[in-house]
Amino acid sequence: MILNPKPLVFAHRGASGYEYENTIPAFEMAYEMGADGLETDAWILADGEVVLHHDKAIEVKQTGEHINISTLNLKELKSLTLPNNTKVPTLREFLEKFAFRTTKAGKPLEFSIDLQDLKVGAAMVPILREFKVIDRVLLCANSMIPLKKVRALDPEVRLVASNQHDQIKPEFFGPTGKFTPTNLYAFNIKGNDFTPEMKENLIKLGLKCFIWDLHHEDCLRKYLAFAPSVIYSNYPDLALKIRAELFN
């Protein structure tokens, strides 16, 4: 058994290995499986509403066409049906269902949200505060622009740099470093890009190490053994099973 603190398991787009990603059924299944947190993706619509969907284009069941989600207003979006006969949820709908739930371990459920456009993070802050989940949310982005916009509005929310593992360098965290204004919490690294040196460097910088794209038993075993703070998987049940085998 590994003696390090066990990683939190976030359900990537919900239990998306079983249900259509980023839909309420996928999130519900992940919660019932015992995930420590739910991961999702956010866009801002043309009317300012924040909704949860991964791709820029939404696949419409009725027609099979793909529509740029950011060009729609909420009424137009809700008129469309996803391939699993559900609707794209809004951030409010998501939080109304999950913000006040606890995990099987009795801890508050956590959330990780990828900022898929430059404006959505700033639009989310008032909603996150309304639902009192600021301290349980990780906001992730592969660009510094949305992270800086969020930090300018809120000093508390935890910000995560995604897919920027090549930027884990001490000079970027000094008094004039590019990351200093954001007060980052963690780096989120894709499994295939991860090296043990990255985690060591993050520890030296006082930052957390997250690893994503862990969807199969072999890679879950491989990367859980490095004891990152958080891992993301489409199969939270499998991730939890392997975690229980590896960690005390």
**In total, how many domains does the chain have?**
1
Q: Is the pLDDT of residue 21 over 80?
A: yes
Q: Within a domain: residue 193? A: yes
Count of alpha carbons within 13 angstroms of residue 16, beta-carbon side: 20
Q: Within a domain: residue 79? A: no
Domain with residue 137: its CATH number is 3.20.20.190
Rounded to whole angstroms, how far apart are CA atoms 226 and 238? 17
Query: Domain limits at 126?
Result: 8-55+88-246
Q: Within a domain: residue 71? A: no
Length of the chain: 248
- What's 97's DSSP letter? H
Name the E strands within the chain.
Answer: 8-11, 37-44, 50-52, 57-59, 66-68, 110-115, 137-141, 158-162, 186-190, 208-212, 230-233
Which two structure tokens, joined as six digits, stand for 189? Answer: 């690294």
Q: Within a domain: residue 165? A: yes
Q: Within a domain: residue 204? A: yes
Q: Residues 127-156: pLDDT tens digits?
A: 999 999 999 999 999 999 999 999 999 999
Q: Within a domain: residue 231? A: yes
Q: Within a domain: residue 145? A: yes
User: What average pLDDT does this structure show over 173-181?
Assistant: 91
Q: Residues 199-241: pLDDT tens digits?
A: 999 999 999 999 999 999 999 999 999 999 999 999 999 999 9
Q: Is the pLDDT of residue 32 over 90?
A: yes
Q: Within a domain: residue 2? A: no
